[in-house]
Structure 1
Amino acid sequence: MAASFLSRLTRFAFVAAAAAGLSACGVNSIPTAEENAKAKWADVQNQYQRRADLIPNLVATVKGYAKQEQDTLTKVTEARAKATSVQISAADVTDPAKMAQYQAAQGQLSAGLGRLLASVEAYPDLKSNQNFLALQSQLEGTENRIAVARRDYNEAVQAYNTTIRTFPAVIGAKVIYGAKPMVPFQATTPGADTAPTVSFDSPAAPAAAPANDNAAAPASQAAGQ
């Protein structure tokens, strides 16, 4: 009886030690950090899609008042088509080439929107159009939400990448999961990390580019609520 009890106690101790060892190796922390980063990436994509959904109405409204801006309107429409055609699944956030392609497409659309909104300054009637003003407000809020979503994603990626590179979780990352570092969002087009200016109280001018998404997020988050 005593031997049987001792045997069961030994097995229990072994299982407990093994569980503790696996936990220390990131069995739980790695997938938790991974799923959090993927969820944040979904938020980034949702906000970019929200922006893409606003653009057709914006282009149509501007076209009614500024037919001479046809070249700018065409470029924005083409940039939107390209941006929406490049989709990155959560499984692709470890692929630098795919992420760079997505970021470049969104950056080109941001640049095109910036040029379009700057051209509107020459059309007072358009600037007072109620439909345009509503689109302006929605676009401004969306750009702020994009900045916040990118910041949150980058923070989640940093946490995940740190987890899979730090002992003892690095053991589980390599042996159990074969984990790869995720790619943070980095603007690849000059000025793409700055939201297009959508206020027409004064001549449009790009805001100073923040050093990174983390630095810009607090103000953006407040404005995007």
Structure 2
Amino acid sequence: MSTDVAIIVGAGPGLSAALARRLAREGFRLALVARNVEKLEPLVASLSAQTKVVALAADAADPVRIEDAFARAEGALGTPDLAVFNAAQRLRGPIEDLDPAAVMAAYQAGAFAGFLTAQAAARRMLGRGSGTILFTGATASVKAMPQSTPFAMAKFALRALAQGLARELGPRGIHVAHVLIDGGIASSWARPGDAGPPDKWLDPDAIAASYLALHRQHRSAWTAEMDLRPWVETF
């Protein structure tokens, strides 16, 4: 069993919840960061029987709030061994109709917040010389689709952040990786009576297992980017 500390920024009921449950079973102490922590109450209650868990309210795009969340998590649980950035804000529409303020907000939530999360995590991990920082990407990280430009802008930037930090922090003992989720996650997309082949959506529990494997990789063979897609997904 692990005694590691993990902090998940952008925690919600889908992938983040699956990851939290997997980490709790492995003995991780957990900090879950979200704008609205009330939505996390059922998850926190279920995890509390297995491990120590705290839910922290913060806007991840606010430098003061995210630093405060990390400080509170560290005070309650210890220095994070694993930090996962799983926040995003989808915004769609034709370019002539998009509100610039809304586009900026989406960019800040999906990219700038990733920078702030990584900075707060790295400041703590560097003193120890070890740790893992993982970023959740999407198909939009490598392929921008019509009327989804704001989302792709943020995801492209997040991928660049991960690449730069992997090169900067790897030699200092911190494993940085970008996980490209190339397909719909079952917790968000699956519906009763869905037609089509089995397992056409990504299983969030399977994704969580891949995240844990990344964290546990030996430093002689670190992965900088991992693509995850259902067996029927084209690419």
TM range (shorter): 0.3 to 0.5
**Which one has a bigger Cα radius of gyration?**
1
**Greater share of residues in helix:** 1
Q: Which has the higher strand share?
A: 2
- Ranked by relative contact order (alpha carbons within 8 Å, sequence separation 6 or more), the top structure is 1
**What's the TM-score, normalizing by structure 1?**
0.32
